Amino acid sequence: MKRSLHFGLLILGCIAWGLAGCADDPERYPVWTPQDHAQPGSADQTGRVMRADERGASASGIDAGRTLYHLHCATCHGPSFDGDGPQARAGLPTPSLNRAATLEKSDEELMERIRLGGGGMPPFGGTIGPEGVLALVEYIRANARIPE
């Protein structure tokens, strides 16, 4: 009997403690805007993500993009963006990035595809942070070419 009373009091205490946290006033927390989430140098004053050519891609950003590309992307898209990575040889669909359909997309579209995946590509938004996604786009823009 004593044991069940202690257990009941413990449960009631946990519930009271949990409810005390729910009384927090949400108005005291700041409201976040797109500028709050933008990485340095990646957004203009309106929060719009700027294209790499508007921003002027940095050498360090391109170097970071190269590292990320070879870690996460070359397995499918190949070292030269031709879609001939090891996964392609295993029979998986791995499109070339050296295509007008890819390179004519906006930076925002490329970043969204990297973050969310789609069309057989896995999402990398949980693996690669916003600065890394931007660095990947800069690396692709600086090196992928439409064949003549």
Domain residue extents for the chain: 57-143
Pick the closest to residue 60 from 145, 144, 131 (CA basis). Answer: 131
The predicted pLDDT at position 44 comes to 46
Which stretches within 46-144 are classed as H helix?
A: 52-55, 59-68, 74-77, 86-89, 100-103, 107-116, 130-143
- Profile the chain (148 residues) by mean pLDDT over runs of 10 residues: 68 63 54 47 45 59 90 93 89 89 92 93 92 93 86
What own/partner pairs with CB < 8 Å and gap ≥ 24 does 113-121 have?
119/93, 119/95, 120/92, 120/93, 121/76
Cα–Cα distance for residue pair 83/117, rounded to 1 Å: 16
Residue listed under structure tokens 């070359």: 74
Q: Domain 57-143 class?
A: mainly alpha
Residues 146 and 13: their CA atoms lie apart, in Å, by: 66
* Look-up of token digits 């064949």: 147
* Residue 24: HSE in the Cβ half-sphere, 13 Å Cα cutoff: 7
The radius of gyration computed from the CA coordinates of the chain, to the nearest angstrom, equals 23
d(CA 127, CA 40): 20
